[in-house]
Structure 1
Amino acid sequence: MSFEWTSYLFEHGPRDPRKRFLLISMADIAKVSGHLWPGVSLIADRCCLSVRHTRRLLHELEAEGWLRIVVKRGRKQSGTYVTNDYYLLKPDSIMSGLPDAETPLPDETKPDTEGTETGHAGHPDRTPEAAKPDTAMSAKPSMNPQKISSEPCAIPLRRRPTPDASSANEIIAGFRQQLYAGNGLPEDEAMFAKLIRVVVYAEAKRQIAALRAEETEVAKMLGLAVPETSNAKNM
């Protein structure tokens, strides 16, 4: 997972929620450089979209400057189809002067995971039909809305551990340790973004606990039944 790309897309990603979620899903399995090579069906499963709709969104994101797609065709020695290379990009209209994505790696340098859940090279989800291009893109939008798959996601999204106040204290202590050691604060903004998420969650949890307690007091004052949620919290 690339925390830098995930944080960037949460803040600057496309305004279309489908495209933003698709890019964040890809960043979840991308390298720090933004390079990944999953099969289209894996991306579709993670976003609960049809393969056809996913392929169309990928082409649109490439045209808008969010992706660079290097099309691969053929089979590996193991018999599995070779998947495309994808490179996450930051459009020039948002971030100028950034270096291009890394040079595509030769096929032989990619790890052959033989169908692991990350969907990289070796994932048996690429079919001969998948190599065919989607229908021609038209400048005039279609009158028919894109169909989204009604089937549940085959691969559940990973659930991150719940942060707490102690996590924030540990992060801050680590920053101070580097500071007094003469190393300065880290330049990776993803670390600061993580701290912000932890602190915001801890403060929200404290505020909700205070509201639950106030809810109980108001119910007693008005002679109402104490809500079950408040009883559960006060036990």
Structure 2
Amino acid sequence: MRKFDPPTPPEATAFLNARLIDPASGKDEPGGLLVRGGVIADLGAHLRRNAPDRATVIDCKGHVLCPGIIDMQVFTGEPGQEHRETLKTASQAAAAGGVTTMVVMPDTEPVIDQVALVDFIQRRARDNAVVNVHVMAAMTRGLKGQDMTEIGLLKRAGAIALTNGKSSVPNTRVMHNVLLYAKDFGALIAHHTEDPNLIDGAVMNAGEVATRLGLPASHKAAETIVLERDVRLVEITG
């Protein structure tokens, strides 16, 4: 009978002396993590200082060890301002900070308000980025808050959500139509709720200090007014 050698166990790497954080379970404690063959095999306080035999040991020196972070608002220079930043350099910076997924905002030049630009971002990310990259497309053309974009086509092209970037949509009828179409196509809307007329020129929050210094200020109602409007629109559109 032919004799077979026992299978070689996968290589193990032990991350010791770490601060383990897991938002899903509420874990926040000192400990360690053991990886075998690219898969988490064990974790907890019992691995804080002791590693299994023949495991490669990495001393985390008290640094945080947690699941990859998702950055939901990444303002990159690509397309249009690659001299400032590209998807490649943005993803490298993200990876260095523990971010494994970036959601790119449409506030670029040109604005990501067309299917071709969504496809461009996805191809560039696939070829150059070192982390996962998703796209939020614009819900109004040029982010001007006036004309709605092709919500269904943008979602079909791969946009995970639609937004108006760092500005809100002041026109209630336009916002109503956006929510109506988003419902029909099953699209997610992420809206920056802030009344532009109440924040125009403001340099700080309204309050005693702003009054004493005589500085233009923005009241917190600038956000709640638009938020309340949008809640009513959601009730109307279902």
Flag whether TM exceeds 0.5 (same fold): no
Q: Give me the TM-score of the superposition, normalised by structure 2.
A: 0.21
- Tell which has more relative contact order, 1 or 2 (C-alpha 8 A, sep 6+): 1
> Which structure dedicates a bigger proportion of its chain to helix?
1
> Which structure dedicates a bigger proportion of its chain to strand?
2
Q: Give me the TM-score of the superposition, normalised by structure 1.
A: 0.21
